[in-house]
Amino acid sequence: MNYAVPHSLIGTLSTHLRFVSHVHDLQIDFDRTKHLSRSSIQTRQTERQRLVQLALRQRKEAEAQAEAEARQRRLIEDANRKAEERRRAEALAMEAEQMANCAARAERKKQRALERCKREKDRLVKQKILLDERRRLLAVRKVEAIRLITFLLTRIQARHDAIVAERRAMRLARAEQAALEAEAVAAVASASVVTASKPLLTTDTAAHCAGLADTSQSTKPPTSSPPSAADNSVAFVDDGQDRMLRQLLKKREEHLRMLLLKKHVGAIQRRSSNSPPHAAGRIGRSARSDRYRIITSPPVMVLTRTTMAER
């Protein structure tokens, strides 16, 4: 009867035999336990099939479990991918919203800048218009002020000229009156002197004065006889009286001129102290011109016998 010995058993036996060979010799009774019997083989095959089925079942379970785990993992991965895609979409949406907000802010900023520039331009235009209007108004006011000042200065100058002319006329009138008074005083003095010195010659003196008046009024000199000794003595007395009268009149004229000059200087000083600073130069010039006219004015002509004879 031939028994099929498995290779694993053969290997195990050979190994055991090699190990035992070193110890002692073995005596083996072949298949004493009925290992190779049909029942043992059947039992072993049944066990083997059971183990194989168990292994297959375990493999299937492992495969099913692995498939379930893979399915679960795929689900988790899908969920993670979907969550990632959702997060990415949300991020993209947020980024797009931020970009839209930035664009809107930039547009609003640009619009505000344009409005501010427009307001600034309008303000500058209004300011320029107001400045031009103010300049025009100032120019008009300046022209009006110049015209008013010119008119006032003309009025002031005319009034000043009128006052100066009136004062000059008054001075001339007073000078003429003073000259007439001096002439009257001199005539009275000369008459008193002549009366005291030559009381007997009054008739001849009066006749001589009448003759001088006639000769001054006539156009042709009279053809009279040569003067006598009495006439020469009367003429000598008259010449002395005329010389004395001229000296008195000269002193009186100098005294009146000095009084007029002092009065005029005092008036100029009062006017310069009361007048504004810009009018001081004009007043000073007018005062100097008036003083020059007073000083260089011709002396007052007093009509005496000698002057009447000379004329």
Strand, coil or helix: 131: helix
Which pLDDT tens digit goes with each residue over 24-79? 555 556 666 777 778 888 888 899 888 988 888 888 888 888 888 888 888 888 88
For 182, residues 6+ apart whose C-beta sits below 8 A from its C-beta are 248, 249, 252, 253, 256, 302
Give residue-wise pLDDT tens across range 106-136.
999 999 999 999 999 999 999 999 999 999 9
Per the model's pLDDT, the better-predicted residue between 260 and 162 turns out to be 162
Number of domains in the chain: 1
Report if residue 212 sits inside a domain. Answer: yes
Residue 130 covered by a domain? no
Question: String of b and e for 136-160 (b: at least 16 CB within 10 Å)?
Answer: eeeeeeeeeeeeeeeeeeeeeeeee
**Over 50: is that where the pLDDT of 298 sits?**
no
Supply the pLDDT for residue 132. 93
The range of the structural domain enclosing residue 277 comes to 172-220+227-310
Residue 90 belongs to some domain of the structure: no
- Classify residue 285: in a domain, yes or no: yes
97 within a domain of the structure (yes/no): no
Residue 279 CB-density burial (10 A; 0-12 exposed, 13-18 middle, 19+ buried): middle
Is residue 65 included in any domain, yes or no? Answer: no
Q: Which range among 117-126, 150-159, 226-235 shows the weakest confidence by mean pLDDT?
A: 226-235
State if pTM tops 0.95.
Answer: no
Question: What pLDDT is attached to residue 195?
Answer: 66
In a domain, 2, yes or no: no
Q: Is residue 283 part of a domain?
A: yes
Structure confidence at residue 133 (pLDDT): 92
